[in-house]
Structure 1
Amino acid sequence: MKNLFKKLLIAAALFYFPTQSMAWGTNGHRIVGQIADSYLNAKARAAIKAILGDESIAMASNWADFIKSDPAYGYLYNWHFINFDKTLTYPEMQAYLKADTATDAYTKINFLIGQLKNKKLPKASKLLYLRVLIHVVEDVHQPMHTGHLTDKGGNDVKITWNNNPVPTNLHSIWDSQLIDMQQLSYTEYAAAINHTTAAQRTALQKAPISQWLFESNQLADKIYADAAGKDKVSGYNYNFKFIDTLNSQMLKGGVRLAGVLNEIFG
């Protein structure tokens, strides 16, 4: 009996242990992937189909999180995020990224784009790199993936969500809790927020990666400020304050992901 109880405690600890590499959660990633799929051009769609087969972008978007259970892919851990020691102005962000040689989301997005443009890339590498690129582009639109280095992007900011007896953290609220509160499937959610004009899509897709990261970093600052001094939050109040931000970031992520894929394969 003692052994069973011990195993249950270990399982619970593993389940709730905050991981920096989770962003948007399963549903959130699929929402962004579904939106991206709607804006692919014909050439990119055919090329992606040749790589992914019957796996949709929405379903492929979770691969990089699921595979972290395999130690052989542990090297991908730092690819999912880029944390900063403070909130940066845009010139500061540009200067930081210009000198960035670390293994992080910024350097690896650029690496993956470059690799996927190589027409001689082996098929197995194309599959790996495409799955990871989809995921990481989505990741950096989750504001806490550009959060503070000192608290692991909000993972160490402990908060009780809606009086839930199981404690959570600021990062997880943006991964899953706020999205799950809407009680929509990923296809329903994507349909509900996927409304853009051609001019909006053009503007979003022209923005450089540095702009993506700057926007997310600025939002992270607001999220941190709201959480300061709090040990619990009401989901309904939090939803009122942040649902538009959440939806905007997922929509931006989908439109920009489509732009990247169209550039690579179109």
Structure 2
Amino acid sequence: MKTSIFKKIILGIAIIYLPVQAMAWGTNGHRISGQIADSYLNAKARAAIKAILGTESLAITSNWADFIKSDPQYNYLYNWHFINMEREYSYPEMQEFLKKDTLTDAYTKINFLVGELKKKNLAKNNKRLALRMLIHIIEDIHQPMHTGHLSDKGGNDVKLKWFDKDTNLHSIWDSQLIDFQQLSYTEYVSWINHPTVAQIKDWQKSPVSQWLLESNHLAAKIYAGVKDTDKINVYKYNFEYIGTLNDQLVKGGVRVAALLNQIFG
């Protein structure tokens, strides 16, 4: 009994001190997209998800895949969070790239997880893991640096200054731009979750290859906008990129819901 309690305490401490750059979107970003996704679920998907997650909301379950990084038995999930692209692709090039993709990465695992969740006889614990991971990975790939360069670990090795503090390009997009708005995740959702009907339809019908193309193009722009060791003008950077970041958070949520509606509806 004491050993079990001790392990829980250690796990809790590890979660609190996980490095920010290890978490795509950061805690708030994932919760924002998860809460947005919840608002676009149909009745059948909502019921199926409740049967799997119980009272755990999409906003809360969105972060499970990052929190669990503190448990070594889940180390095999590490490469599921991203897909490396060393340059900007045209859409035909992206389709060809993905067609040949046999690596363990976000794209191949999205396809795998969708297949798992469509199985009628999948054990509930496996279904829960698959659902948590699918939600998280879809949100991850809408953070552009999760389609970044292997050579710099998706921008983690692009060292920058943010309000005179050391940081990196990946971390800025994970959390620092979002945190700069000084909003709770529910306040943030109220601010940005206002896509038009046309936008929702367009985002819902687009394939995963299109999602990755958008992030790939944004990553190219983001890389081009900084030089290693730059001191970021935070207010200018926020003005230039916050609209793009917010669009990606909303798109991620809408597309999570669209895929879950397709799987469970």
> TM-score of the superposition, structure 2-length normalised?
0.92
Deviation (angstroms), 1:210:
0.4
Greater CA drift, 192-201 or 139-148:
192-201
Once the two structures are superposed, the pairs formed by residues 178-189 of structure 1 within 5 Å of their partners are 178-189=177-188
Once the two structures are superposed, the pairs formed by residues 85-96 of structure 1 within 5 Å of their partners are 85-96=86-97
Alpha carbons of structure 1 residues 237 and 78: separation in structure 2 relative to 1, 3 Å: same
Report the residue type matching 2:145 in the other structure: M
Alpha carbons of structure 1 residues 81 and 149: separation in structure 2 relative to 1, 3 Å: same
- Asked whether the equivalents of residues 161 and 229 of structure 2 are also in contact (C-alpha less than 8 Å), the reply is no
Distance in 2 between residues matched to 1:56 and 1:162, nearest whole Å: 34
Deviation (angstroms), 1:228:
2.4
Distance in 2 between residues matched to 1:48 and 1:18, nearest whole Å: 29
For residue 151 of structure 2, give the secondary structure of its aligned residue in structure 1. Answer: coil
Q: Which residue of 1 aligns with 2:252?
A: 253
Identity among equivalent positions (%) equals 69
Q: Which residue of 1 aligns with 2:9?
A: none
- Asked whether the equivalents of residues 160 and 228 of structure 2 are also in contact (C-alpha less than 8 Å), the reply is no
Deviation (angstroms), 1:197:
2.5
Distance in 2 between residues matched to 1:174 and 1:153, nearest whole Å: 11
Deviations 1:5-63 (A, max 9, x none): xxxxxx9xx755843xx210000000000000000000100000010001000000000
Distance in 2 between residues matched to 1:16 and 1:193, nearest whole Å: 27
Alpha carbons of structure 1 residues 251 and 18: separation in structure 2 relative to 1, 3 Å: closer
Q: Which residue of 1 aligns with 2:45?
A: 44
Q: Which residue of 1 aligns with 2:225?
A: 226
Aligned-pair Cα RMSD in Å = 1.3
Distance in 2 between residues matched to 1:199 and 1:35, nearest whole Å: 17
Deviations 1:162-200 (A, max 9, x none): 112xx1100000000000000000011011100123222
State whether structure 2 residue 132 is matched by structure 1 residue 162: no
Report the residue type matching 1:95 in the other structure: E
State whether structure 2 residue 168 is matched by structure 1 residue 172: no
For residue 227 of structure 1, give the secondary structure of its aligned residue in structure 2. Answer: coil
Distance in 1 between residues matched to 2:21 and 2:121, nearest whole Å: 39
Aligned residues: 250
For residue 150 of structure 1, give the secondary structure of its aligned residue in structure 2. Answer: helix
Once the two structures are superposed, the pairs formed by residues 53-202 of structure 1 within 5 Å of their partners are 53-164=54-165, 167-202=166-201
Q: Which residue of 2 aligns with 1:238?
A: 237
Report the residue type matching 1:235 in the other structure: V
> TM-score of the superposition, structure 1-length normalised?
0.91
For residue 160 of structure 1, give the secondary structure of its aligned residue in structure 2. Answer: strand
Deviations 1:218-256 (A, max 9, x none): 000010000125521021111011000000000100110
